[in-house]
Structure 1
Amino acid sequence: MNLSILDQAPISSGKTAGEALQASIKLAQAGEAFGYKRYWIAEHHDFSGLSCSAPEVMLAAIGANTSNIRIGAGAILLPHYKPYKVAEVFNMLATLYPGRMDLGIGRAPGGSAEVTMALSNNFLQQVYKLPESVQELFQFLHHDFPDDHMYANISAAPLPTTPPQPWILGTSGKSAKLAADQGVAYAFGHFMSDNEGPEIVKSYVDHFKARRTLKKPQTIIAVSVVCAETTGKAEELATSSLLWKIQLGKGEGKEGVPSIEEAKNYTFTDEELTVTSKMKQKMIIGNPQDVKEQLMELQLIYAADEIMIVTITHSYEERIRSYELIANEYSGRKNL
């Protein structure tokens, strides 16, 4: 079973965005050392507690500080951008880091309504046109416009030896259909979906149309996980992330992911306890053995090719340790 990393580049309370981004580079390096297949970083804009607004910039830094782990965006929010520019950027990254580059495409705004207007004042129109934009992007990546197309004589240079692998990221039947129709790999956000995930992923597999380089469907399931030496410690670490999400829902959380001490001193209302209980149902929290068992069960339910883990803790060291414990449990290495 392949394991991968999804990084939202969280800022912990008392830390700066610069420290968070440096922690992301260290996480990618650690993931490579632990044997993870790929590392993706997400795109968010003016989002309290998250530091990465430009995955392409971070990928340049991460590629320069790693050697063989696949790296990519999870995801580039295409409705904000012209396909040609996205193709240029990721072709350049794929030229710098050959055979390692993934290009995940998403349709979410990644920020507030005001941020969306600042980025692109026709966002909703571009969401509606996303299938056409995706098609155009892939034609730029593979340099295969029809001869009579207006873009037939231009290229998204530099053209790498191995193009970046495209992925569609989503949580709905629409994203699954788009990925199947385009014949590209599909990543489903289990950690952020209330939909019938296994049915959506099965629909993608059943309707997949082979095109270009991908000859059969390929799936990733993204899961929120916190792992520690004991389940009790994992529950304690997860409390920080849960409180932060509660704060974000109330328009707070600007200070970043709270510490364990801050979480312990916070008095949850009955309504907030209900919300955190529902959030925990989508998470996997526990010791290495329990986490592995639950991940394997989820992989079977989805029939997924790969599990991508997103972990948010206040301590960047504990975050890396969580990934290490899981990797060791899967590989049979002894956890110390």
Structure 2
Amino acid sequence: MKLSILDQSPIPYGKTAEESLSASIELAKMADTLGYKRYWIAEHHDMSGLACPAPDIMLSRIGAETENIRIGAGAVLLLHYRPYNIAERYNMLAVLYPDRVDLGIGRAPGGSAEATIALSGNFLENVSKMPETLDELLSFFEGNFPKDHMYSAINPSPVPKVSPEPWLLGTSEKSGILAAEKGIPYAFGHFMSEQDGPEIVKRYHANTKSGKSLVAVSVICAETTKEAEELALSSQLWKIQQAKGEGKKGVPTVEEARAYNFSDEKKNDKIIAGNSGVVKQELEVLQEKYQTDEFMIVTITHSFEARRKSYELIAKAFGL
């Protein structure tokens, strides 16, 4: 099984965005040493508790401090940008870090309605144009615009020897169908979807011959299952607070989460929390369901150290 990391750069209560971004850099360096396959960082806008609005800026720094791990966005929210601009930025990363760059593409707004309008105006109109926008981006990487097309005369310079690998990220059947139609790899967000993920991924593979996929899952691993479950309370409470518009102070502490009465709230049952043996077993069960050989792990805890330790224990459990 291949294991990768999806980092949302969460900001714990009492910490700063600067501290969270520094922790992300250290996490990427550790992941490179431990043998994780990819490190992707997410894009969010004006979302309290999440520190990164610009993955390409973070990836430039992370690429310079790592050697082997693939680096990428999870995801660039394409509908906020012109494809040529994204092609230039990720080509430049691919020149700096040859054959190591992934470009995960998403179509979510990644922020409030106000932030979305500030970024890209009429977002719903942009959503309707997503297939054409994606085609344009892929054509810039492949250099296959028709000769009579205006864009055939330009290149998203600098042009690397190996182009960034595009992935489409999604949580629905619609995204899986689009990825299959375009013949690009597909990343399914199991941790944030209520839909039948295994069936969606199965249909994706049935409709593309050369496709590859990965599944993003929420995991917290600790020395004991009891400790992991306690650490997971912070993430559980934060999701509830965000749904109520009360999560602006960041990831709550374990102590605050322990004191919270969850009896009337629905906990996030998508989180895998346990010791190394439990986590390994549950990921293997998911692997059987999804029939994929790569999982991308997102871990949100209040403690930076607990997050780092979780990834260490998982790497050891799977012998990376």
TM-score above 0.5, yes or no = yes
Could you tell me whether the CA contact under 8 Å between 1:313 and 1:319 is conserved in 2?
Answer: yes
Give the alignment partner of residue 287 of structure 1, picking from 275, 291, 302: 275
Question: Which residue in the other structure is 1:43 paired with?
Answer: 43
Question: Which residue in the other structure is 1:232 paired with?
Answer: 226
Alignment coverage as a number of residue pairs = 320
Taking the aligned partners of 1:146 and 1:208, their CA distance within structure 2 comes to 24
Letter in structure 1 aligned against 2:226: G
Give the alignment partner of residue 260 of structure 1, picking from 254, 257, 261: 254
Letter in structure 2 aligned against 1:311: T
Shift, 1:271, TM fit: 2.2
Unaligned runs of 5+ in 1: 210-215
Taking the aligned partners of 1:289 and 1:265, their CA distance within structure 2 comes to 28
Question: Which residue in the other structure is 1:171 paired with?
Answer: 171
Deviations 1:248-269 (A, max 9, x none): 111011111111112122233x
Q: CA RMSD in A?
A: 1.0
Taking the aligned partners of 1:248 and 1:98, their CA distance within structure 2 comes to 39
The list of structure 1 runs, each at least 4 consecutive aligned residues, that deviate by more than 3 angstroms after superposition, is: none
Q: How does 1:1-336 map to 2 (within 5 A)?
A: 1-208=1-208, 216-268=210-262, 270-272=263-265, 275-276=266-267, 279-280=268-269, 282-331=270-319
Percent identity over the alignment is 61
What is the DSSP-based 3-state SS (H/G/I as helix, E as strand, rest coil) of the residue aligned with 1:152?
helix
Could you tell me whether the CA contact under 8 Å between 1:48 and 1:248 is conserved in 2?
Answer: no
Deviations 1:260-292 (A, max 9, x none): 112122233x321xx11xx12x11110101100
User: TM-score, length-normalised on structure 1?
Assistant: 0.94
Shift, 1:322, TM fit: 0.3
Letter in structure 1 aligned against 2:55: P
What is the DSSP-based 3-state SS (H/G/I as helix, E as strand, rest coil) of the residue aligned with 1:309?
strand
Unaligned runs of 5+ in 2: none
What is the DSSP-based 3-state SS (H/G/I as helix, E as strand, rest coil) of the residue aligned with 1:331?
coil
User: TM-score, length-normalised on structure 2?
Assistant: 0.98
Shift, 1:61, TM fit: 0.9
Letter in structure 1 aligned against 2:51: S
What is the DSSP-based 3-state SS (H/G/I as helix, E as strand, rest coil) of the residue aligned with 1:24?
helix
